[in-house]
Structure 1
Amino acid sequence: MMSKENQNSQSSCQNSVVTIGTFDGLHIGHQKILNRVLDISRVKDLNATVLTLFPHPRMVLQKDSSIRLLNTIDERIALLKQFNIKCVVVKTFTKDFADLSARDYVKNILVDELNVKQIVIGYDHHFGKNRSANINDLKMFANEFHFGIEEITAQDIEDVTVSSTKIRKALDHGNVSLANSYLGYTYFLTGTVVKGKRIGRTIKFPTANIHIKEDYKLIPKDGVYVVSSIIDTITVYGMMNIGNNPTVDGKAKSIEVHFFNFNTDIYNKTLKIEMHTRLRDERKYDSVDLLRQQLQRDKEASLNYIETLK
């Protein structure tokens, strides 16, 4: 199916140059592939198209709920659009989809739906039921259905694979600066502002509590981070805590942002929170006053760091 978020009509994705993949993170390795798709689309006057799957196959076939992805599906679509991909086609991954034969997959989706003229794909790409077909099978289908194939080299495939792994490990360790260098943009969380316990207000550090509905979204390591968000077209900086708020006997994990010089009601707003760097671990203080003093130091460190971004 075409994703609801995609505003393209099915016909506008006809006559396409297509690449296929999960593209989780849309990092610098992925961007290299997308740039090749865009180059071909301009030279051959084709629609630049990404065919991606959701949910992740492991979520469906293995019932694996431990998967953490760098992007939600909405974030992935938005990023692809930002990278000038004209058509984003999201296929709902089901067991029936997994059972499609290789030929049915190529004919029904690539040929009939997208009228593919060129495919940009990895040399190690597998597809069809039990992932039984490979690049050689695709070349045979290309001859039958008259479309071209450009293989992505082993080196480029390695870059894509290694980068995704490195990004997840970096975020698990709280190293968002390193993750951002691999992504080529600032890692971000998208969530809705909900009401919390309002303890921050009592120590002059009010926070916006961010609720992320997608439980598969990778949340970086607990701690304090320098962040920013565009709110009503204005970039607002702040600091974010991920953790359990042990000083005030917090139980559940929360994501809370204190925005600097900001006093607007943003309850129920959906915010994109960009994460720039990590300041420290979360820790328990002997008193709320000591916590307040630490937050003041965090604010000063954040403001100093923010000056380097401007």
Structure 2
Amino acid sequence: MKIYNNIDEFKLIENAVVTIGTFDGVHTGHRKIIAKLQELAKEIGGETVILTFFPHPRMILHPEDQDLKLITTITEKAQLLEEMGVDHLIVTPFSRDFSNLSALEYIHDILVAKIGTKRIVIGYDHRFGKDRKGGLEDLQRLSKVYDFEVVEIPEQDINDVAVSSTKIRTALLSDDIALANQFLSYPFFITGKVIRGDQLGRTLGYPTANILIGESYKLIPADGIFAVTVEVNGAPHKGMAYIGHRPTINGMTRNIEVNIFDFNQDIYDQQIRMNFHHFVRSDIKFNGLDALVVQLAKDRESVLALLS
């Protein structure tokens, strides 16, 4: 997959089959749309193009809203789209100037002049251009002028996408990993850099890799213990992850850390991917470190059973 960080980097191609959206999570609903995109491209010997935006439009248009959390970072989204076999991903920097393009400018300057769209797959409720005045009817009207075909995504499929996104976020924030993964069609994951902690886990017999998430908008599941697999240099390892404030030692900051089973490599400053498979238990305060160690042994057995 070719990735473009600006629409101007993209070179016109023949028979571009295009869709537009945020595609947060690249979940089951999105995958229906992408499958349709690929089917249409195959019919005309074309290539698939996804036009997405970063930052997320809400971050620019509503900066006061600090509650927006996304299922995938822009890098994670690109990785998932590449795994699906998308040909081209255009990441358009979203700005107020971009949001002020008229519907006609959006269609002519972006879709036609810059991409060379031959088919566009779009939802009945997709809005674009200044004040979100552009929509499906504009595309259908101008398709005759600029010689492209509009393929409408059925209302039910659009609703599935919206419902899935909402349900995934809700599930992750309530530790329903199973439901989130069902909607995603893959294990929810986070990627981050391994940083040095205070080495407490090592003294307890459960050394952990502390993970720094570089993107503040990345959604993190609710606190607790999780059965995970950790990808280090592409190789998977079983482990148990912890998210929380470490109440047993009156911790002040929220930590994300993982005890990787049967692993002793030095991975400081490396990027790792942690896939969430099962929720094990909530985060609780124990009556001292000895009680915590006893529980960690039980957690390890639970995780091994869940991942077996």
**TM-score w.r.t. length of structure 1:** 0.95
Q: CA deviation at 1:9?
A: 6.2
Residues 102-117 of structure 1: matches in 2 within 5 Å? Answer: 102-117=103-118
Residue matched to 1:43: 43
User: One-letter code of the match for 1:46?
Assistant: G
Q: Distance between the aligned counterparts of 1:5 and 1:147, measured in 2?
A: 23
- Decide whether aligned partners of structure 1 residues 114 and 17 sit closer, same or farther in structure 2, where only a CA change above 3 A counts: same
Alignment pair present for 1:54 and 2:54 = yes
Residue matched to 1:68: 69
User: One-letter code of the match for 1:229?
Assistant: V
- Between 1:28-37 and 1:227-236, the stretch displaced more is 227-236
- Between 1:226-235 and 1:193-202, the stretch displaced more is 226-235
The superposition leaves residues 53-75 of structure 1 with CA deviations (integer Å, 9 ceiling, x where unpaired) of: 11111110110222000000111
Residue matched to 2:293: 292
Residue matched to 2:147: 146
The superposition leaves residues 156-184 of structure 1 with CA deviations (integer Å, 9 ceiling, x where unpaired) of: 11111111111011001011111000000
Q: Distance between the aligned counterparts of 1:77 and 1:12, measured in 2?
A: 21
Q: CA deviation at 1:224?
A: 0.4
- Between 1:184-193 and 1:9-18, the stretch displaced more is 9-18
Secondary structure of the corresponding residue to residue 89 of structure 1: strand
Report how many aligned residue pairs link the two structures.
305
Unaligned runs of 5+ in 2: none
Secondary structure of the corresponding residue to residue 126 of structure 1: coil
Q: CA deviation at 1:12?
A: 6.5
User: One-letter code of the match for 1:199?
Assistant: L
Residues 211-290 of structure 1: matches in 2 within 5 Å? Answer: 211-290=212-291
Q: CA deviation at 1:246?
A: 0.9
Residues 11-160 of structure 1: matches in 2 within 5 Å? Answer: 11=11, 13-63=13-63, 64-160=65-161
Secondary structure of the corresponding residue to residue 273 of structure 2: strand
Contact kept, 8 Å, 2:6 with 2:91, in 1: the verdict is no
Secondary structure of the corresponding residue to residue 301 of structure 2: helix
Contact kept, 8 Å, 1:195 with 1:209, in 2: the verdict is yes
User: One-letter code of the match for 2:90?
Assistant: V
The superposition leaves residues 211-259 of structure 1 with CA deviations (integer Å, 9 ceiling, x where unpaired) of: 0010000000000000112223321010000000111221100101000
The superposition leaves residues 24-51 of structure 1 with CA deviations (integer Å, 9 ceiling, x where unpaired) of: 0111010000000001111111110100
Q: Distance between the aligned counterparts of 1:60 and 1:122, measured in 2?
A: 23
Q: Distance between the aligned counterparts of 1:283 and 1:172, measured in 2?
A: 17
Q: CA deviation at 1:5?
A: 10
The superposition leaves residues 104-123 of structure 1 with CA deviations (integer Å, 9 ceiling, x where unpaired) of: 11111111111000000001
Alignment pair present for 1:206 and 2:207 = yes
Q: CA deviation at 1:134?
A: 1.6
Q: Distance between the aligned counterparts of 2:179 and 2:77, measured in 1?
A: 20
Contact kept, 8 Å, 1:14 with 1:114, in 2: the verdict is no
Q: Percent identity, please.
A: 42
The superposition leaves residues 123-170 of structure 1 with CA deviations (integer Å, 9 ceiling, x where unpaired) of: 111111000012111111111111001100111111111111110110
Unaligned runs of 5+ in 1: none
RMSD: 1.6
Q: Distance between the aligned counterparts of 1:45 and 1:289, measured in 2?
A: 65
Alignment pair present for 1:304 and 2:299 = no
**TM-score w.r.t. length of structure 2:** 0.96
The superposition leaves residues 73-94 of structure 1 with CA deviations (integer Å, 9 ceiling, x where unpaired) of: 1111111111100000011110
Q: Distance between the aligned counterparts of 1:233 and 1:142, measured in 2?
A: 45
Contact kept, 8 Å, 2:69 with 2:219, in 1: the verdict is yes
Q: Distance between the aligned counterparts of 1:204 and 1:300, measured in 2?
A: 15
Q: Distance between the aligned counterparts of 2:199 and 2:4, measured in 1?
A: 38
Q: Distance between the aligned counterparts of 2:162 and 2:295, measured in 1?
A: 39
User: One-letter code of the match for 2:283?
Assistant: E
- Decide whether aligned partners of structure 1 residues 127 and 219 sit closer, same or farther in structure 2, where only a CA change above 3 A counts: same
Secondary structure of the corresponding residue to residue 221 of structure 2: coil
